[in-house]
Structure 1
């Protein structure tokens, strides 16, 4: 039986049990789970093994790993913080801050369209390789010149990778800093949170490798049946994403604000403690409560054009309770990462919950491991 390390507060033992059960029932390899309630840590657990360049090691308290799209939640906070300070108008045309972006019919696309996956820029016209994902300037220049793939604002289409470059360029134009630097200076640094968008060499010894899923994005075994002209195919197959690339040094060093963040459940939960508690953590007011309320400005509802068959309700960046994830409280927001990582913020309960692991599933929409631990968390809070 896998040894589980860390602590749980009295009354939350069922969360530990559900976490431990993942090794017995769900093929877990290495993972961490953390939760805060009202700003206090009630769960901080880790266990299993992590794979490194020099062989297999235990998953330690300070192990960090690429969390894929859970990174997006950090990018959302950067934009919400700039908006809260009056430096970024989420409803203003992006071209207000990035004039080149107005080309090819994009004059009225606003930051809120990018935050809500409705901008029509879920991918690129030009064929790309994985190495191109390391070149921020190339990708934003391509998008500045490109026409949207559907009428902006009319529907969501998951901007799986592109969202981060777009938001990153907006943050850079507004603040003068890259999104990774802005995040480190204004959010992670003040909170002393071990989460990084652009990971330096001093952290390499703590970075676990992901265990890739059975197939990568754009490598679906049923791809022969997919329309090659569809928005879904054009988004997810260019480039076809190999999860193993995230274990390379160039990927770690790059800032990929939609998919390249490195952290663990403790750091994700610590950052979203401010989201769950009116922007305040440990006496520090990072963002105002009104600034966070923008999360619940609904940007899209209905079937997504990229994640086919998925009925999404999207706020300002974050997902909101709806058909895909019918969470119990209305003032709850969430997002997750390819393979299974998860961040849940329940403002009604003051709850920040995160689950991070190394063995990836193929799904973009979560899996039973994080869901089971989350259900145990809500059960403990109810009990």
Structure 2
């Protein structure tokens, strides 16, 4: 650890977590300038780490958390499955008849959640204005033919899974996924984790900054490959060449696009996972033991046909057991494109969130999270 901090670290840690603060300071010091970062950790429902750094940043500042947003989406689905309002093995078209077009009639909710449906986007790509609105995305995706035979492979539905799942929720219950999030999770616990940021909270939002290229880094071509490049289709690169701009669009934040449009503080994101495990504010766990078991069982493991990476998905959530084995086999959550991450370890009672105000370069965010997680585990 370094002996001093180039950029001040604010906040506090509980006794025994001083090493986490030192590691966070090292993460901040490694950057020429910090655009803003936060770290929060709950243990058995109690906040034990609450740290932040960066100009005009405090513990209540809000950041675009990109795919950390998906965690909120899947929490709602899990609660509705737990209630009996959704059936994982029922066809999506049974809830949403229009979805049954173009060879999608037999796709189940389970396959959709496991990224096995093949409905990752549209050939002509979505505009940023379309990407901001999950209802618009759902309407267009209903007519789309899958990009592979459903159930035979899996690929990250990076910008559309929230729209697809959200439409199922709306058709099945008559209420939007966003309403359920507010009613069941966010509002009861007072969490700063928003799918739809109210105008009055806009002053707390800190704009996302694009990645700063390292010396000698090769800039990708301006014109992305077309045709059946699944990555380009899934991330609509024709109209969204730099994902870092996405959360800075007010319409995205206003509508709370479920796949990547959420806005949160680290405290809010970690608090949501703490609420699932129980003990937050003295409340019982939102998830039963059966729900934890169901939604942490691996469903899609191996090469992802969209990202070309080795991935591990449960029903929506990402598994953290390979990245950090000490977290346990049921550690689940979701990382975000800018380098943010939020997850829970049921076995250890840990809920963790780290958020960044600038896109990370290369594997920098993975290294940062690994360092921080290891110190959290050492403190336990």
Query: Secondary structure of the equivalent of 2:318?
Result: coil
Q: Residue 336 of structure 1 contacts residue 366 of structure 1 at CA under 8 Å; is this kept in 2?
A: no
Kindly indicate whether residue 253 of structure 2 is the aligned counterpart of residue 248 of structure 1. Answer: no
Query: Secondary structure of the equivalent of 1:375?
Result: helix
- What's the CA shift for 1:249? 2.0
Q: How does 1:1-383 map to 2 (within 5 A)?
A: 1-27=6-32, 28-49=34-55, 58-213=56-211, 221=220, 228-236=227-235, 237-242=237-242, 243-277=244-278, 282-308=282-308, 310-321=309-320, 325-328=323-326, 329-361=328-360, 366-381=365-380
The CA deviation string for residues 227-284 of structure 1, in whole angstroms up to 9 with x for no partner, is 742322322225425322422322221130010111111001111003334x976224
Query: Secondary structure of the equivalent of 1:348?
Result: coil
CA–CA distance in structure 1, aligned partners of residues 366 and 39 of structure 2: 14
The CA deviation string for residues 89-131 of structure 1, in whole angstroms up to 9 with x for no partner, is 1121111111111111111112222221111011212332111
CA–CA distance in structure 1, aligned partners of residues 258 and 324 of structure 2: 27
The CA deviation string for residues 196-253 of structure 1, in whole angstroms up to 9 with x for no partner, is 10111110111110112258xxx97068896742322322225425322422322221
- What's the CA shift for 1:356? 0.6
Comparing 281-290 with 137-146, which one deviates more in the overlay? 281-290
CA–CA distance in structure 1, aligned partners of residues 311 and 193 of structure 2: 27
Q: Residue 36 of structure 2 contacts residue 357 of structure 2 at CA under 8 Å; is this kept in 1?
A: yes
Where in structure 2 are there 5+ consecutive unaligned residues?
A: 1-5
Q: Residue 63 of structure 2 contacts residue 265 of structure 2 at CA under 8 Å; is this kept in 1?
A: yes
Q: Residue 338 of structure 1 contacts residue 363 of structure 1 at CA under 8 Å; is this kept in 2?
A: no
Q: Residue 71 of structure 1 contacts residue 257 of structure 1 at CA under 8 Å; is this kept in 2?
A: yes
Q: Residue 158 of structure 1 contacts residue 304 of structure 1 at CA under 8 Å; is this kept in 2?
A: yes
Give the aligned length.
367
Where in structure 1 are there 5+ consecutive unaligned residues?
A: 50-57
State TM-score, norm by structure 1.
0.89
Query: Secondary structure of the equivalent of 2:71?
Result: helix
Q: Residue 13 of structure 2 contacts residue 48 of structure 2 at CA under 8 Å; is this kept in 1?
A: yes
State TM-score, norm by structure 2.
0.90
